[in-house]
Structure 1
């Protein structure tokens, strides 16, 4: 029987069952197309004791992150977001040349490159060998490790305590919530700060963002459940910011429990919003599965109609979320002939499960399709600008989430 990984309760209730899919970042080479793929149940449940929404840990982080297909720097808006965070943190926390900043899951150095450029000592902790090497090539010192309490203690012993520990879009990716949080506490100075960005479950539920449910994401946080998770490792939530990233995220500011001040008015405000939405009880989750089914029907109706009318539809992007959507909807190359991605690592590969070819972005201008299905809908503003040339031949963009929308663009 599945038990809650945060509080150990057996009281878990179904939120949505998406069937079974392969891991979303295991893109296939051509040689693998005639081989079987393992699939795993994708069934989101919520604990009615601590209200942590979660998937069972069917795959290990080692299976996903030892070599990873996602490079943060291929999103211009995400690099800009990181740059602003660094600039604001320097002012907010009074960081200077003698400060020390650590980022956990530092990827290809997209954030710490700005810290290093400011003359502040920094270290990335990144388990993926290939993306960690990309960070080192940018001059960002990077340790190839997963964060555990022992790793955190070892880094502190060698490099000293961190004035700021950053953990962006990783708090959902670790099955051992308590151990990871203790690792954060071991890294941070006794008077330091921890900043965590993670998708907000409130946005996921309210805006039908079910494609962000995939096996890499072991849990999905409200501020209430994040507060409990932080406390499990000796950290206290003192402030929160609501962010537009990933369709709606929260930035959690935490400090060691021994010196943390009382939660800010912003924390109390977001907790009240979550309660009003019913996310501190089962009522808030009741209709989600029905709305997910509507997204699927709308997208399939559009694609099948376009195919019947002889219209061409291709994809833009090959993100993890896109693979949840494609697999749940049963979309194959007969409905989406290919997708493109800026990341050369994915070129010539195929999407897991649905086996849709992934090509270079230049292919869209060559083929001039009637429609471009935008899979990383969370980058809507950035990609609408990048893809404005589609309007030159009368092509249109299609956004599937939160509901199907077909958009005309001007070149």
Structure 2
């Protein structure tokens, strides 16, 4: 375990060139943009000098799937413009929608991904070995996909989940779940009622909250003074390197490097002491933070690599828009060519990220007849903006299409196994990111 020390000043990380703010942020950690003024403002440090990274136009919120009776109704669209703060280097979208609009009733259930449930179990096994917790709290606990493994070990646990429908699914599994958004006040109330947590897990939620400072203070309120906070979030360095731009959508208010995550954690009184690289979601980081401690060698090494990649300056962000344009061109070229040849193309999956890709590319049902999804909540609905029908997975075997475009490309290994039957009639799987890859009947990858 790393040597511990008291947190005296938030800016006193020795050996780190990345500045960390001390005291209160210069501006409230909520508003990035006042639409009436047109002035962009960093939600973490309050700076007004933001660099444009990529502008994807305007799209509807990615999880607002349409029912059939809404097909003739208008849809609101919101700008999808990623910028990076030149002061603290937090990459961010303007918070033009609220978490309440997205997460009060949510279409995503984590347990429908077998590989994600396995990932959660592996995490629990490793975290319990590392922390030996008596009480675990998970923030954004979804349908109990992770805490079910904690409960099976006989460890006391609590989920905090704002979406009533998925929280109810967790309770049906026997996972105690509080239906609320995490704020500093919520964290203090949970601590007063249940006691401090030895481990607080926050997986794939740190990008989803516009009030970074308030949320981080909520994490600090939950965790014991000698406890651990574990956060998984997509890694901006990998996103940019591999052109994974479909993960830019309105639910994700910000995107982290190790440097910007370190600064965000410090704003709420937590110190980044360790970091792991993960393959999930195309490339993620697992942040280990504590109220006391010092960054270890892995933290410093990743900070060094980020500096070399230019991610602590403007240099590393200038070529990303060109990578995005190439992904779009390659996918449209394939779909148009398939249509001209009389080939049928359908989709697999209806993830939020898929809707960024479909809307940015302007793909409609003339190029993608429909998509399927394992989640029955989405059956009979239509993708936002592009209005492509969502059907049960069995439809693929019935129709035997020539190509299946896999929208959750980050689950490539899992879905390649699930969709192996497509090869029985000579069908092919198509993965659009990081580059257009087509898997033929012999399971050999051909690159278009």
TM norm structure 1: 0.98
CA distance in 2, matches of 1:342, 1:272: 42
1:126–1:409 Cα change, 3 Å: farther
What secondary structure does 1:202 align onto? helix
Alignment of 1:49 with 2:87, yes or no, is yes
1:250 pairs with 2:250: no
Secondary structure of the 1:132 match is helix
How far, CA to CA, are the matches of 2:155 and 2:277 in structure 1? Answer: 27
Match of 1:315 in 2: 347
1:94 Cα offset (Å): 2.0
Task: Tell me the distance in 1 between the aligned counterparts of 2:385 and 2:242.
Answer: 25
Deviations 1:225-262 (A, max 9, x none): 00000000000000000000000000000001xx22x2
TM-score, normalization by structure 2: 0.90
Q: Distance in 1 between matches of 2:253 and 2:307?
A: 23
Q: Secondary structure at the match of 1:190?
A: strand
1:332 counterpart residue number = 364
Q: Structure 1 residue 409: deviation in Å? A: 4.3
Distance 1:403 1:94 in 2: 42
User: Is the CA contact (8 Å cut-off) linking 1:388 and 1:410 kept in structure 2?
Assistant: no
- Residues 11-410 of structure 1: pairs in structure 2 closer than 5 A: 11-95=49-133, 99-256=134-291, 259-260=292-293, 262-410=294-442
User: How many residues matched?
Assistant: 405
Check the 8 A contact 1:392/1:410 in 2, yes or no.
no
CA distance in 1, matches of 2:303, 2:439: 35
Match of 1:49, SS state, is coil
8 Å CA contact 1:397–1:409 kept in 2: the answer is: no
Match of 1:3 among 27, 31, 41: 41
Q: CA deviation at 1:56?
A: 0.4
Matches of 2:308 and 2:281 in 1, distance apart? 22
Q: Show structure 2 runs of 5+ residues with no match.
A: 1-38, 444-448
Shift of 1:410: 4.7
Listed as ranges, the gaps of 5+ residues in structure 1 are none
Q: Aligned with 2:252: secondary structure?
A: coil
Q: Distance in 2 between matches of 1:409 and 1:30?
A: 36
Shift of 1:181: 0.1
Offset of residue 84 of structure 1: 0.5
Q: Distance in 1 between matches of 2:441 and 2:93?
A: 38
Distance 1:24 1:385 in 2: 27
Cα distance in 1 for partners of 2:298, 2:424 equals: 45
What is the CA RMSD across the aligned residues, in angstroms? Answer: 0.7
C-alpha separation between the residues in 1 aligned to 2:136 and 2:191? 11
Aligned-partner Cα distance in 2 for 1:273–1:169: 23
